[in-house]
Amino acid sequence: MNTSTPSRVFSGVQPTGNLHLGNYLGAIRKFVDLQHEYECLYCIVDLHAITVWQDPAALRDQTLEIAAAYLAAGIDADKAIIFHQSAVSAHAELAWIFNCVARMGWLNRMTQFKDKAGKDKERASVGLFVYPNLMAADILAYRATHVPVGEDQKQHLELARDIATKFNNDFEAEDFFPLPEPLIKGAGARVMSLRDGTAKMSKSDPSDLSRIGMMDDADMIAKKIKKAKTDPEPLPDSLDGLNDRPEAKNLVGIYAALSGVTEEAVLAEFGGQGFGAFKPALADLAVEKVAPIAEEMRRLRNDPGYLEGVLGAGAQKADAIAAPILKEVKKVVGFLG
């Protein structure tokens, strides 16, 4: 980390619907803790969302849903800055400059583009290809130093560091941008599908049973855990025993992340027991942790005016940080003031 730069946290979630337990454990829960230590900006990345088709009415709705999730999870809008990306023009402007800094070869190596574009790359939007450049712009428009994310964003964070390094070198502006540090470690960094322990829990999985939704009620959460794929063996006594048992490993990991204990501690308690005993315990725990957030989300969703007010105020604060940085960037690049 560049120690001469003050610590600032930036992260974002796409308003693409189906917010799930992976988003919460991998990202949003960390956002809540970090707000006490750092200056934090938590963005709802609507510019990223439109890299694949979004129905406009649904996009508006989903943007408010993420705002509700941030608040319901415990982010304090007086402490952290909560806003939507399209309201602060620095993101798009800096992304263009980064489109001219990043190299085609770097983007060609991005695994997420390959996954999302699927077989027919020719039909993917250009935005989807340059998505990581926009992500770098999100972070660096604020000279953010720390970025809490799930494991799936690791490669994008490395690219952001490469872009910052190349910009600083190309323009001989040493330390102009800090090299942002990913904050990934810890339980919950990679929550897997409840239907397939080798695939990550994802918003776009066609099966709703694959994920615990942050708006699911207690019955739904319990049902999904009951139906989660498992194997016939009892839980092992030690971590090694979870090798080659991806579904069991995932459920133990979720239990550990939700309860704030290690996986070893979970196995110390449940080792030797079958899923008939473990699943109800996990369901109770998940309901205890998720249901209150879902309930508060539903309450907040009924007050869109309030949510829009929070986002509008947040956007002003975010713009006040990003605008002077963007002004400096333009000067460094050689644009007339």
Binding site for ligand TYM (CB under 6 A): 10-14, 22-23, 25-27, 45, 48, 135, 138-139, 147, 149-150, 152-153, 189-191, 200-201
* 198/302 with CB nearer ligand TYM: 198
Q: Closest separation between CB of residue 128 and ligand TYM, Å?
A: 11
Tokens of 189: 């960094």
Spatial neighbors of 25 by CB under 8 A, at least 6 apart, are 187, 188, 189, 191, 254, 257, 258
Q: Would you name the residues annotated as active-site residues? A: 116, 200, 203
Question: Taking Cα atoms as reference points, which of 180, 48, 166 lies closest to residue 102?
Answer: 166
Largest pairwise CA distance in the chain: 70
Tokens of 322: 């990003």
* 47/267 with CB nearer ligand TYM: 47
CB 91 within 8 A of CB 47: yes
Tokens of 16: 């693409």
CB 23 within 8 A of CB 67: no
Alpha carbon distance 272, 185 (integer Å):
28
Q: Sheet of 39-44: strands edge to edge?
A: 81-84, 39-44, 8-13, 146-148, 181-183
Alpha carbon distance 211, 204 (integer Å):
10
Q: Closest separation between CB of residue 200 and ligand TYM, Å?
A: 4
Neighbour tally for 80: CB within 10 Å: 21
Q: Closest separation between CB of residue 172 and ligand TYM, Å?
A: 26
* 109/331 with CB nearer ligand TYM: 109
Reduced to 3 states (helix: H, G, I; strand: E, B; else coil), residue 260 is coil
Q: Closest separation between CB of residue 115 and ligand TYM, Å?
A: 12
Count of all residues that appear for the chain in the document? 337
Looking at the DSSP assignment, which residues form a beta bridge with residue 40? 9
Alpha carbon distance 303, 242 (integer Å):
45
Q: Closest separation between CB of residue 191 and ligand TYM, Å?
A: 4
Q: Closest separation between CB of residue 146 and ligand TYM, Å?
A: 10
| Pair type for strands 8-13 and 39-44 | parallel
* 29/220 with CB nearer ligand TYM: 29
Alpha carbon distance 335, 116 (integer Å):
35
Q: Closest separation between CB of residue 39 and ligand TYM, Å?
A: 15
* 154/269 with CB nearer ligand TYM: 154
Looking at the DSSP assignment, which residues form a beta bridge with residue 182? 147
Closest residue (Cβ) to ligand TYM?
A: 26
Reduced to 3 states (helix: H, G, I; strand: E, B; else coil), residue 261 is coil
* 182/236 with CB nearer ligand TYM: 182
* 147/252 with CB nearer ligand TYM: 147
